[in-house]
A and B are shown apart, each in its own frame.
Chain A
Amino acid sequence: AQSVAQPEDQVNVAEGNPLTVKCTYSVSGNPYLFWYVQYPNRGLQFLLKYITGDNLVKGSYGFEAEFNKSQTSFHLKKPSALVSDSALYFCAVRDMGGYSTLTFGKGTMLLVSP
């Protein structure tokens, strides 16, 4: 079975500082990996994905994520946080093999203080 772990329920960072939201995954085959963001009372918005190729993936709003196969991680990063980045972030994984479903982590609340 596939799974995603987001070890931090909440991450606090000051505006202008770099941020990292952690994600580790488990799949039997090779993964497709995704990051989504959710603002209050909204659906999920796609940020970025890793399919294959370069381990550093760049996405929307200045976010990027690094795929590390040996550590089975896909941490989300941003060099300089904005107050408007405060939201709930979800990591998700899908196994490349077969018709597997998209499995989400529990989510990490990011709070950026002014």
Chain B
Amino acid sequence: KAGVTQTPRYLIKTRGQQVTLSCSPISGHRSVSWYQQTPGQGLQFLFEYFSETQRNKGNFPGRFSGRQFSNSRSEMNVSTLELGDSALYLCASSLEVLQETQYFGPGTRLLVL
């Protein structure tokens, strides 16, 4: 099976712009989670989607949003980018039950200038 794929892998934006990141889960996985990884804060949970519904949301401002499509693919959007949004954004997919393992994609590295 193909793993979790994320596009683009690298992105450079300037402050004030917006960005959309995409994640395609492993075939058959209906749960998708997003995380932000920075050297200072580590891995922080952004949101989790299951069957097109947001099931959980982390403690991030409203500039961060996401959605999931009927084919389980997910996108996250960050509007009005700030320098502090520079990070590795990781997507993970899993089967629907809580004890199932989350499998991570390679991430999208976002640099905000």
Using CB atoms and an 8 Å cutoff, list the residues of chain A in contact with chain B: 32, 34, 36, 41-46, 49, 51, 90, 94, 96, 99-107
Contact = CB atoms under 8 A, between A and B. Distances in A.
Given A43-B106, A43-B107, A99-B56, A104 B101 contact: no
Grouping DSSP codes into helix (H, G, I), strand (E, B) and loop, the B interface class, with mixed when no group exceeds half, is: strand
B104 A36 contact: yes
Nearest to A51: B99
Interface in B28-83: 33, 35, 42-43, 45, 48, 55-56, 58
Nearest to B107: A43
Contact of A43 (B33, B45, B90): B90
Contacts, number: 52
10 contacts: A32-B98, A32-B99, A43-B104, A43-B107, A44-B90, A45-B104, A46-B101, A46-B104, A94-B98, A99-B48
A104 B90 CA distance: 13
Given A43-B90, A90-B43, A107-B42, A102 B102 contact: yes
Contacts of A107: 42-43
A98 to B, nearest CB: 8
B2 to A, nearest CB: 14
A43 B105 contact: yes
Nearest to B57: A101
A103 B42 CA distance: 11
Contact of A104 (B42, B55, B103, B107): B42
Give the residue among B42, B58, B98 with the most A Cβ atoms within 10 A: B98
A103 B109 CA distance: 21
Given A43-B104, A90-B43, A101 B48 contact: yes
Contact of B33 (A36, A49, A96, A102): A102
Contacts of B45: 101-103
Interface in B86-113: 90, 92, 98-99, 101-107, 109
